[in-house]
Amino acid sequence: MNFSTINTSLENNIFTITINRPDKLNALNQTVLNELNAAMDRVYTDENIKAVIITGTGEKAFVAGADIAEFVSVKDDEGASLSKKGQDIFFKIENCPKPIIAAVNGFALGGGCELAMSCHFRLASTNAKFAQPEVNLGLIPGYGGTQRLTMLIGKGKAIELMMTGNMIGADEAKSLGLVNYVEAPENLIPKTKEILNLILTKSPVAVSKVIAAVNAFYDTQKNGFDEEVKLFGEVFLSDDKKEGTAAFLEKRKAVFK
Ligand code: COA
């Protein structure tokens, strides 16, 4: 696939999607969103892809937000559809059955913070900075940020960050639970790969059901406990469960297909 605003690479079953507009701090314009959507379609269908990293080009920005310059050409009554389009792509990331980690390598502002939050979890470089600064523009987060930031760090701090637009650094993001690890910039991708390589030794069926079960907690249409029962029933039928339990009893390492 040829993309103009993202780079993709596949190495040892880990697919890296790099948002690549460094001159605009990797801001999300419509082309980036469309290409991200197409890349995610490939993630769902390509059996060689078993895990994903989403990051940004350079050491300055992960993604500095939605492309503000593009807002000028969006008609006043097209805001809702713009928001819905972004939300749908980010749902595709959040609900992907393969593990997806955001490697936040600099500014993650507005839509950038929202993109990172749609990933299953996040690592940050020491120079990463997070904010939902939409109030400065007379806007609110529109790609799921009002919901996911609240889910991740709780209402009090989330609403403060969205009302003030204040920027927080990587260490504060970690203490709030927004990111799981803070790494030196040169260690960010290696550490992300190390975690994904560990996950890739586990049952892919079970990992996909963990994603579905945890996401059910946040889905008002679903009862998470009922969903867990259903998903547990499904993994119990799987070849991975047969292999995992047999390997334990035979005192050997499980080999999942
Ligand atoms: N949309 C469009 N362009 C953006 C952008 C965005 N969200 N964020 C940065 N850019 C562009 C700048 O316009 C500039 O382009 P130019 O060189 O053609 O003028 C380029 O990226 C570099 O940004 P600059 O502002 O010069 O870098 P800086 O180091 O002085 O400041 C930021 C960095 C992140 C603090 C600043 O760019 C910023 O506040 N960006 C907007 C963040 C935001 O509000 N995001 C939420 C959008 S909903």
For 181-221, how does the pLDDT look when each residue is reduced to its tens digit (9 = 90+)? 999 999 999 999 999 999 999 999 999 999 999 999 999 99
Residue 134 falls in the annotated catalytic set: yes
Q: Could you tell me if the CB of 140 is within 6 A of ligand 1?
A: no
Strands of 32-174, DSSP E: 51-56, 61-63, 100-104, 107-109, 121-125, 129-131, 168-169
Residue 228 falls in the annotated catalytic set: no
Q: Mean pLDDT over residues 245-255, rounded?
A: 96
For 47-103, how does the pLDDT look when each residue is reduced to its tens digit (9 = 90+)? 999 999 999 999 999 999 999 999 999 999 999 999 999 999 999 999 999 999 999
Cβ atoms of 37 and 118 closer than 8 Å = no
The owner of tokens 């103009």 is 4
Q: 64 C-alpha to center of ligand 1: Å?
A: 6
Mean residue pLDDT across the chain: 97
The pLDDT assigned to 75 comes to: 93
Q: Which of 35, 94, 134, 227 is catalytic?
A: 134
Q: 29 C-alpha to center of ligand 1: Å?
A: 13
Q: Nearest C-alpha to atom 1 of ligand 1 is from which residue? A: 67
Q: Nearest C-alpha to atom 6 of ligand 1 is from which residue? A: 67
